[in-house]
Amino acid sequence: MPCKGIHAISSGPVEFPELVYSFVICDDKTVMIDSGVSNSVMDISFLDKLDYLVLTHIHVDHVGGVSELVQRYKPKIILYEGFSKYLEDTTHLNASARNVLGDLLDIYGEVDPVKGGEFLEVKGGEELKLGKYTMKIYYTPGHAKHHISILIDDILYSGDSVGGRYNGIPFPTTPPPLDYDKYIESLRLQISLNPRMVGLSHGGFVSSNHMEEHLNQLIKGDYRVNIDLGGTAGELLNKLLEINYSGIAKSQNAK
Ligand SMILES: [Zn+2]
């Protein structure tokens, strides 16, 4: 049966499945945005095909499932120009993740190389017809210099370019190496798109005023948040938040 509608799918590790979300948009063409961690509990058994797999950026918590998805569905993989090579050989990707994330990488799992993937490299500005809807691609650097965001049916899929949100509290998604000025610029660009909803990789679907709230907390320097999730999930999130704060501190010190 063809899939229908829009889905936010938990694709984090078993310790905190909602740490990462992937999104599936079903039209004549089926699109998935990001693929979670390698140790993901993602359930996509409802998918009988996948035409496009968009990677907002190639950090380990967004590309963990790619090799499996390629084997199963052979989607076209859409990502920023020049970065396919880091999926064909994931040595560099895993090593830099180890460097930034430390033992969190053991919880996420290392990324397997992608064999036989068909890549469609983009720069931003492209539009692809999906059926009823069109997928628009925007270049949104800052979190990573190769970050892209996607607009489909007036919903923005922002990856890690406009922060995350748990318990109704926005937080920065800014691990080192961060380009703070570009992050702010990309955030402003996406606010100007005025989408009806935003799909956050770390938070799921939220209303679009999340983006202004996040911008304001950065401008005020008020970005250290207290999100109490409790238990293992809470510990994981707190570790991740400390890494994200350190990205802002390092980028400010470098100025
Ligand atoms: Zn992420």
The predicted structure's pLDDT at residue 215: 98
Q: What percent of the chain has pLDDT over 90?
A: 95
Look at 46 and 172; give whichever has higher pLDDT. 172
Please enumerate in sequence order all residues whose Cβ is within 8 A of that of 131, keeping only pairs 6 or more positions apart, or say none.
27, 28, 29
C-alpha 214 to ligand 1 mean position (Å): 16
Task: Categorize the per-residue pLDDT at 71 as very low, low, confident or very high, splitting at 50, 70 and 90.
Answer: very high
62 within 8 A of 36, measured Cβ to Cβ: yes
Is residue 141 predicted with pLDDT exceeding 80?
Answer: yes
C-alpha 11 to ligand 1 mean position (Å): 11
The predicted structure's pLDDT at residue 237: 97
Three-point CA angle 249, 213, 13, nearest 5°: 70
C-alpha 46 to ligand 1 mean position (Å): 25
C-alpha 27 to ligand 1 mean position (Å): 26
Task: Categorize the per-residue pLDDT at 206 as very low, low, confident or very high, splitting at 50, 70 and 90.
Answer: very high
Of the options 3.40.50.720, 3.50.50.60, 3.40.50.2000, 3.60.15.10, the CATH number for the domain spanning 6-253? 3.60.15.10
| pLDDT tens profile 235-245 | 999 999 999 99
The predicted structure's pLDDT at residue 145: 96
C-alpha 255 to ligand 1 mean position (Å): 25
Of 42-46, 61-65, 195-199, least confident by mean pLDDT is: 42-46
Distance of CA 228 to the CA centre of its chain: 22
| pLDDT tens profile 8-44 | 999 999 999 999 999 999 999 999 999 999 998 888 8
C-alpha 1 to ligand 1 mean position (Å): 31
Q: What percent of the chain has pLDDT over 70?
A: 100
Whole-angstrom distance, CA of residue 152 vs CA of residue 31: 10
What tokens were used for 85? 């090579």
Q: Is 20 helix (H, G, I), strand (E, B) or coil?
A: coil
Find residue 22's DSSP bridge partners: 9
The predicted structure's pLDDT at residue 230: 96
C-alpha 116 to ligand 1 mean position (Å): 25
What's the pTM value of the predicted model, to 2 decimals?
0.97
| pLDDT tens profile 207-223 | 999 999 999 999 999 99
| pLDDT tens profile 177-194 | 999 999 999 999 999 999
C-alpha 161 to ligand 1 mean position (Å): 9
C-alpha 194 to ligand 1 mean position (Å): 23
| pLDDT tens profile 76-125 | 999 999 999 999 999 999 999 999 999 999 999 999 999 999 999 999 99
The predicted structure's pLDDT at residue 42: 87
The predicted structure's pLDDT at residue 154: 98
C-alpha 59 to ligand 1 mean position (Å): 7
